[in-house]
Each structure stands twice: as C-alpha cells, then as structure tokens.
Structure 1
Amino acid sequence: MLQIDIVEQCKRNDRKAQLKLYRQYCQGMFCVAMRYVKNADDAEDVLQESFIKAFQKMDQYKGEVTFGAWLKKIVINKSLDFLKTKQLKVVELKEGYMGVTLDEDWTVSDGVQYKEVMIAITKLPDKYRNVVQLFLLEGYDHSEISEILSISTTACRTRLLRGKGQLKQLI
C-alpha cells in the first residue's frame, strides 16, 4: 500500500492506518526527540504527544513535503515546547529597578588570536553564546537581538554583559 493511501486513510480516522504510520515512523522520530530532550522517558512523552497532534491535524497535511518531514517538524516543535516548560519561570525585572551597566569595552590582550576567541565563544552557555554571536559577529543591536530571541532588551543586555565576562575568563 502506498504511503499516500495510508495518509488518506488516516485522514478518515482509520486506526489501522494510524498504527501503520506510527510503526513506520516511531523509531526515527524517537531519535529526533532524543536529540532535543536528552532523556528516553521525556522523548517517549514528546513522541506520543507528537503523534496525537499529527493525527488530530492530519487534514492540514497537504502533501507538499513528505509525511516524514511534516511529522518531524511537529516532533521538533513539541520537543522545544517541552524544553520551554521545563525551564524555571523567571520574573522579568524592569530596567528602573535594576540598572544595567553598559560595558562597551571588547578589547582583549594583543596576543589573543581570532581563532581562540571563536573557540571560547563556542564554550559559552547557549543563552550567552547566542547573544554574543548576534552582537559581535552579526552586528545586531539589543532591540534586534531581543526580537530574534524573544527576550526583553534588558535580558539581552544582561546576557551580553555576562557572556562577555565569561568570554574574558575563558580567554
């Protein structure tokens, strides 16, 4: 039976067709989820939620991409959603409550090579590395970075300042 036929049967809520698709894709999609959530139990939960969503939204699958690619996008989004919910909830402080000092000095010792700086940037935690790369390498300003990363400009400034401090320690 062709995959397009199985998908069409799934659109009609055929449980046997859904089981066929599940068996065909579950191992591959489990690997995708594991790359993000890094825990087998959590990956299984993400996988289950992804298939449920896929079967509920099957009418939205138009065949413009392969079913596997469409499902993979759902798995990745569910994995990212899962990771977001596991993070601690942070209360944003208004700039008026806490002053953020601007330290625009990015100079390093004369003996430091460009390659050393690039290697040190890769060692920063993700939240600092992303801001430092966007600021230093891509040339974005705080408002642009905050929009790209969906964070406040205060958080952007703070992460840049902390990232720069860690970067100087690494160098």
Structure 2
Amino acid sequence: MNPTPATGAPWDQDRADARRAAAGDAEAFERLYRRHLGRVNALACRMSGPQEAEDLIQEIFVRAWQKLHLFRGESAFGTWLHRLAVNLIVERFRSATARRAGLHDGGEGVMDVLQARPSRPHVTLDLEAAIQHVPPGAREIFVLHDVEGYRHTEIADLLGVAVGTSKAQLHRARMILRELLT
C-alpha cells in the first residue's frame, strides 16, 4: 500500500483514490479494487455461496465504478462499498426469490437440509461450509446479523421485513447450524 503524502492513513488514500476514480482515473479505481477485494469477496461468499460470488464481485465493482460520483467521503470508502455490496446482494437475492416463487414454495425446509447432511457422524463441517446449507433467507439474515454486525432493525429496513421475521430467521439459521456443526 502506498500511503498518500498528507497523512498516509488508508482511509485518506481511499478518499483520494475515490475522487480520482470518479474523475475517470482507472488506475485509482484499480487500487481501490485491490485494497477492498478481499472483504467484498468474503461478504459475497458468505451471503451467496462460492458459486455465485465471482459474478457478484464483478457486479459489485462495476456498480461501484458507476456510482463513485455519489461517494461523498463522509464515511470510509470501505463502509460505503460494503453497504453498496450488501444492497446489491439483497437486490439480487430478491429478484431470484421472485423468479423462484412461481416454481415452488421458495426454500428448503429444515428437514431437507438435515437429511442432506453426511451420515458419517465423525465428519464435522466447518462454519463456512455449514452456512451454505442454511436456506437463503435465513442465511442472509445470519450473515448480516452475526457476521457483519447489523442490528435487527437495520436488517428489517434493508430487507423490507418485520423485525420479528429477522429474529425468527436468525433463530432458524442458528438452529440449523447448531445441528450441522454438532
């Protein structure tokens, strides 16, 4: 990381690179991309699974490039990018759910998940793998709450659900994970 001459703080470098990138500087955007790829990748993998993560990452950074002019620098660039990424993932999740709604009831039941579990009791799934076995709605809320640190009120606003729904889905996800990991 090459610090900016002024203070050298990464957030200052991000702010400067964001301004340059918004003005069309592709090299500045590439520096932002390299600094934030790991966090965006981890978020995309946790919320969508590794199969979809690569497409999501590309879509997130394309959207960031398109919306850089909206970054005001009032918060850290990483915070802005994280929010943009979560919003895009939620948007994609909603459209996929809407497409599936016409095909079936929209999700796996707990029994489907548990029956798909390997029959060898000595095999313990790690948390990342276990999260992928949680139905999408519950997984999304679990990741937002327990991994990313969002409060239920924030999740409710973000996803357009009731606070009680957020709490119930979090409980469901935790119960499934507890069963899968024990």
Which secondary structure does the structure 1 equivalent of 2:75 belong to? coil
Which secondary structure does the structure 2 equivalent of 1:13 belong to? coil
Give the whole-Å Cα distance in 2 for the aligned partners of 1:67 and 1:3: 6
Match of 1:77 in 2: 87
Match of 1:51 in 2: 61
Match of 1:90 in 2: 102
| Equivalent pairs, count | 100
Give the whole-Å Cα distance in 2 for the aligned partners of 1:35 and 1:57: 24
Output the TM-score relative to the length of structure 2. 0.48
Flag the structure with larger Rg: 1
Q: CA deviation at 1:84?
A: 2.1
2:40–2:82 contact (8 Å) kept in structure 1: yes
Give the whole-Å Cα distance in 1 for the aligned partners of 2:54 and 2:17: 23
Match of 2:29 in 1: 18
Match of 1:66 in 2: 76
Structure 2 gaps, min length 5: 5-12, 104-134, 142-159, 166-182
Can you list the C-alpha shifts for 1:70-107, whole angstroms capped at 9, x where unaligned? 0001111111122223320339xxxxxxxxxxxxxxxx
Which amino acid in 1 is paired with 2:51? D
Which secondary structure does the structure 1 equivalent of 2:24 belong to? coil
Which secondary structure does the structure 2 equivalent of 1:57 belong to? helix
Which amino acid in 1 is paired with 2:83? K
Which amino acid in 2 is paired with 1:59? H
RMSD over aligned CA atoms reads: 2.8
Output the TM-score relative to the length of structure 1. 0.51
Task: Find runs of 4+ consecutive structure 1 residues off by over 4 angstroms.
Answer: none
Match of 2:41 in 1: 30
Structure 1 gaps, min length 5: 92-124, 131-147, 151-155, 157-171
Which amino acid in 1 is paired with 2:80? W
Give the whole-Å Cα distance in 1 for the aligned partners of 2:88 and 2:56: 6
